[in-house]
């Protein structure tokens, strides 16, 4: 089983946190040079992954990941998982941003996809889809005040 790790880039460390907890295969699309070959590999990895994860954090600069999660929640609801991190390092979403993101989460759920509302649950949810029942707790900066 493989999960595609989509969502916020921009030096966010959520992937490092999550990868350290996963007991399943994953594809991390972060590369130093985002060129045509990297883009093609991402397309192929998304097609070959059992799950498509999108984690959105306040470090998000572009909005393409939002379009991707909505598109995938429509086309591949059984594969799509969405998670919002309210805080990422010293960055936080404001109230209006969270209201919009929560509306997106509801839309993702209404499309039949999964909205995981707690980052601590994310590794556990992903691992459980592969039959691994280990409970995961994060210890990194993401959850620290």
pLDDT tier at 136 (50, 70, 90 boundaries)? low
Give the rounded distance of the alpha carbon of 107 from its chain centre.
Answer: 16
Residue bearing the bigger pLDDT, 113 or 122: 113
In this structure, of 1-5, 9-13, 112-116, 128-132, the range with the lowest mean pLDDT score is 128-132
Residue-level length of the chain: 145
The domain defined by 2-143 carries CATH number 3.30.70.270: no
Mean pLDDT of all residues in 90-113 = 97
Query: How many CA within 13 A on the CB side of residue 122?
Result: 30
Model confidence at 105: pLDDT above 70: yes
Q: What are phi and psi of 42, to 5 degrees?
A: -60, -45
Sequence spans of domains, the chain: 2-143
pLDDT in tens, 35-80: 999 999 999 999 999 999 999 999 999 999 999 999 999 999 999 9
pLDDT tier at 135 (50, 70, 90 boundaries)? low
Report the alpha-carbon distance of residue 104 to residue 64 in Å, rounded: 13
């Amino acid at each position: 089983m493989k999960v595609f790790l989509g969502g916020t880039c921009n030096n966010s460390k959520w992937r490092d946190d999550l990868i350290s907890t996963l007991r399943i295969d994953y594809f991390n699309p972060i590369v130093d040079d985002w060129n045509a070959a990297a883009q093609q590999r991402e397309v192929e990895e998304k097609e070959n992954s059992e799950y498509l994860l999108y984690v959105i954090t306040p470090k998000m600069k572009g909005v393409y990941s939002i379009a991707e999660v909505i598109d995938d929640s429509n086309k591949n609801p059984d594969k799509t998982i969405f998670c919002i991190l309210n805080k990422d390092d010293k960055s936080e979403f404001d109230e209006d941003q969270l209201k919009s993101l929560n509306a997106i989460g509801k839309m993702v759920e209404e499309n039949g996809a999964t909205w995981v509302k707690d980052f601590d649950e994310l590794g556990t949810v992903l691992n459980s889809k592969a039959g691994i029942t280990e409970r995961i707790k994060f210890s990194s900066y993401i959850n620290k005040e």
